[in-house]
Amino acid sequence: MFHTSNSFNLSYFYVILTNGKIGTVYDLCLSRKIKRERYMEILEIDSLKTLKNLSEKEDRSFLLIFKSGHEQSMCALENIAAVSVNADVKIFTVDVNNVRDVHPAYSVTSVPTFIELNNGKAVNTYKGCHQPGFFENIFTQSTVDLGSDDKPAQKPVILYSTPTCSWCRTIKEYFRKNNIKFRDIDVSRDQKAAEEMVKRSGQQGVPQTLIGGQVVVGFDKAKIDQLLNIN
């Protein structure tokens, strides 16, 4: 059994109904689910078996492993809900307070952890709370760039840069030359993104690139080529 999240515009509360009765309530706003024909669907999972049965049927889906009452976990949940993306996105959520067999199966030792799944198998893992734009980039790339039988889908790429950085321009040109889709974040204008970048890598310099959850500091061509399968 699993609980389907039916969302209503109730003073910014996200309500999960269980057998027609109010179950879990999150202080979020998902009112756009009512307004849009395509939307994010959030399913609360109660066991590893349920997760596998559902996710293995999906070419692309996502898993958020979190802990209710935990500040960073609720931050991640809220920022995911804040994403506005014109695509059908299915997200499974697991609260480690209630479900104990999912996080060991994915070798998760800290929360929140956000995992991209391909037919139930983890392909990318992201730890911690991120800004809505971070999740939007993942959702957009995952639903648009599905790859082919011969070429796997491109990993999500987020570039942290500044307008005056020469190496930033170099790496952008390299991505464009190799047809790499990426999201460019100007950290000179986005203080929250800059703080997030430094917290993740421990480095203040740019460029910094997040490729499928892995940080690349500077224009490390060898590492970029390896992560993006550039020959």
Q: What is the CATH number of the domain that holds 168?
A: 3.40.30.10
- Same domain? For 162 and 109 the reply is no
152 falls within a domain: no
Would you mind telling me the total number of residues written for the chain in this entry?
231
pLDDT of residue 86: 61
- Among 85, 109, 144, give the residue marking a domain's end: 144
Q: Are residues 84 and 165 in the same domain?
A: no
Domain final residue, candidates 144, 175, 204: 144
**Would 203 be classed as within a structural domain?**
yes
Same domain, 131 and 185: no
For residues 132 and 60, membership in a common domain is answered with yes
- Least confident range from 79-93, 141-155, 165-179: namely 141-155
Give residue 18's pLDDT: 43
Q: How many CB atoms lie within 10 A of CB 89?
A: 22
Q: Which of 14-18, 106-110, 181-185 has the highest mean pLDDT?
A: 106-110
pLDDT band at 16 (very low <50, low <70, confident <90, very high): very low
- Residue (of 159, 82, 155, 88) closest to 125 by Cα position: 155
pLDDT in tens, 104-130: 999 999 999 999 998 999 988 888 888
Helix/strand/coil (H/E/C) assignment for every residue in 2-42: CEECCCCCCCCCEEEEECCEEEEEECCCCCHHHHCCCCEEE
Whether residue 128 is found in the same domain as residue 167: no
Amino acid (one-letter) located at 186: D
Alpha carbons 81 and 3: distance in angstroms, whole number: 17
Beta strands across the sheet bearing 208-211: 183-186, 157-161, 208-211, 214-217
Contacts of 123 (CB under 8 A, 6+ apart): 116, 117, 155, 212
Tokens encoding 1: 């059994």
Q: Which domain holds residue 195?
A: 157-228
Asked if 27 and 103 sit in the same domain, the reply is yes
Q: What's the rounded Cα separation, in Å, for the pair 46 and 62?
A: 15
Same domain, 89 and 127: yes
- For 156-167, the pLDDT digits (tens) are 889 999 999 999
Residue at 151 is within a domain: no
| Residue 149 is assigned to a structural domain of this protein | no
pLDDT of residue 228: 93
pLDDT above 50: residue 68: yes
Question: Are 25 and 131 within one domain?
Answer: yes
Query: What pLDDT is recorded for position 193?
Result: 87
How many domains does the chain fold into? 2
